[in-house]
Structures are given as structure tokens and as C-alpha cells.
Amino acid sequence: MNRLFGSFFLILPAKLREEDKVKHMVWSFFLTLAALWLWPPEKAFAAVFLIGLAKECWDLRFGSGFCFYDMASNLIGSLAGLGFGLSVLAAWPVL
């Protein structure tokens, strides 16, 4: 199991350069920013994570199959969006 887990992270940098994985990161980034306008950070992150998970479950049933690298890309994009969004909100002047 440890070798499988280790190989995932060895391959991850190359996978993240694929066009599909970049799209996952970008969509998750912007969906997280949008969700932060509606909900607190925990709910915004959870909502975007569940959207990504639902998309991968759809792919498992009707598409190319479930991809853990897609989920990792979703996670990276969502965490980046969360960090960026929270830093902007913290710097935003309160009216």
C-alpha cells in the first residue's frame, strides 16, 4: 500500500500539467471563490469538494472513469481559491 501511495505523489507533478487537470484546478479555484460569497469557508470548501466528487462519480458511471488525479487537482484548485479568497476578504475594508 505504501508503494502505491508513494507512486501517486511521484506521478502527480507530471499529471498536474495535463490540460484536463489544469481545467479541474481552474474550475475548482473559481467555484470556491464564488462559494465564498455565499457561505462560510467550511461550507464553501465542502460544496466545491462535493461537486468535484459528484463529477467523478458521474465519470465512473458514464464517462472515462473515476480519477484520483482529477480529485487531487480539484483539491489543489479549491485550496488555492480558499487561500486567495480568504486573503482578499481579510483585506477588504468593512463598510
Helix (H) or strand (E) holding 7: helix 2-15
Residue 2 has pLDDT above 50, yes or no: yes
Given its phi and psi angles, is residue 65 left (phi above 0), alpha (psi -120 to 50 degrees) or beta?
Answer: left
- Check: CB of residue 78 under 8 Å from CB of residue 49: yes
- Is pLDDT larger for residue 49 or for residue 91? 49
Q: Which residue has the cell 466528487?
A: 53
**Domain coordinates in residue numbering, the chain:** 2-91
Please tell me whether the overall predicted TM-score, pTM, comes out greater than 0.85 for this model: yes
49-68 pLDDT, tens digit per residue, is 999 999 999 999 999 999 99
15-47 pLDDT, tens digit per residue, is 999 999 999 999 999 999 999 999 999 999 999
CA dihedral 53, 86, 25, 35 (to 10 degrees): 50
